[in-house]
Amino acid sequence: MRFIVDDITYTLGFFASTLKGVGAFVLRGKASRRILIMQILFTFVDAMSISALLAVGIGAAVNIIGIPFLSQIGQERMIYSLLIMLITRELGPLLTAFIVIARSATAIATEMATMVISHEVEAYISVGVDPIEHLAVPRFLGVTISLFLLNIYFSIFGLAGSFAVAQLFNPLPPGMYFTYLLEDLTIHDIFISSVKSICSGMIISIMAILQGFKVERASTEIPVAGLKAVGSSFVWVIIVNIAISAFSYMS
C-alpha cells in the first residue's frame, strides 16, 4: 500500500513539474517546438485515417441497429440523441484515447527510455538544459492537443459519416438530418467530450514519459517501459472516463 501511495505521489509530482515547465516552454522553448510539431504530426495527422474509418463504422452500426429497433416503438427521432451520446460523449473520447495509447504511448516511452540508457538525458542536464522543459513538455502538449483534435475529428466523421447509412433505412434530406443532430447536440455534450479528451491526453503523455524516465541502465528495460506505459494509460484513462461520465450524469 505504501508503495502505491509513493508511486501516485511521484506521478503527481512529475505531472506538476511538467505543468510548471509549460510556461517556460512557451516563453523560450523555440529549440523544442520542432518536437511539438512532430508529435502532433505523428499522434494526430498519422492517426486520422484509422480514426475516420472507426468513426464511420461505429456511426453506421448505431444506425443499422438503432433505426429498425426505434422504428418498432415509434421513436425514430431518438436516433440522433443516441448518436450524440455514444459517439460524441462516450465512445469518441475513449476510442481515440485507445488509438493514441496504441500508437504513441509505446513510442514515447521507448524513446525516452532509450535516451536515458544512452545517457542523452544526463548530457542535457550537464549543459544546463532542463529535460522536463525540453523533452517532456513538448510531448505532453503534443499528445494532449492531438487527442483533443482527434476527438473532434472522430465526432465529425461519426455523426456526418453515418448520414450515408441512415439513407438506407430512413431517407431524409441532408438539411433535416443535420438540423436534428444540431438540435440534440448541447454545449454540455461538447464540454464533457472535450474534458475527457484533454484529461486522457494528459494521462497518456505523463504515463509514457514517466515510464521512459524510470528506466535505469539495462537495455532490456526499454520494452518493459513501453508495456508499463500502455498498461497504466489504459487503466487510468478508463477510470477517468468513467468518473467524468458518472459525474456528468449525476449533475
Cell of 176: 433535416
Going by C-alpha positions, the residue among 227, 16, 29, 19 that lies closest to residue 113 is 227
Instruction: Write down the pTM of the prediction.
Output: 0.90
C-beta atoms surrounding 44 within 10 Å: 22
What's the sign of the alpha-carbon dihedral 205, 206, 210, 213?
A: positive
Q: How far apart are the C-alpha atoms of 8 and 217, rounded to whole Å?
A: 23
pLDDT value at 111 more than 70: yes
Pick from 162, 157, 150, 147: which is nearest to 82 by CA? 162
Domain boundaries, the chain: 2-250
Q: Does residue 3 surpass a pLDDT of 60?
A: no
Segment 224-249 shows an average pLDDT of: 92
Q: What is the pLDDT of residue 31?
A: 67
Residue type, position 222, single letter: I
pLDDT digits (tens, 9 = 90+) for 186-229: 899 999 999 999 999 999 999 999 999 988 877 888 889 999 99
Instruction: Name the residue with higher pLDDT: 44 or 130.
Output: 44
Those residues with Cβ within 8 angstroms of residue 180's Cβ, 6 or more apart along the chain or in another chain? 77, 80
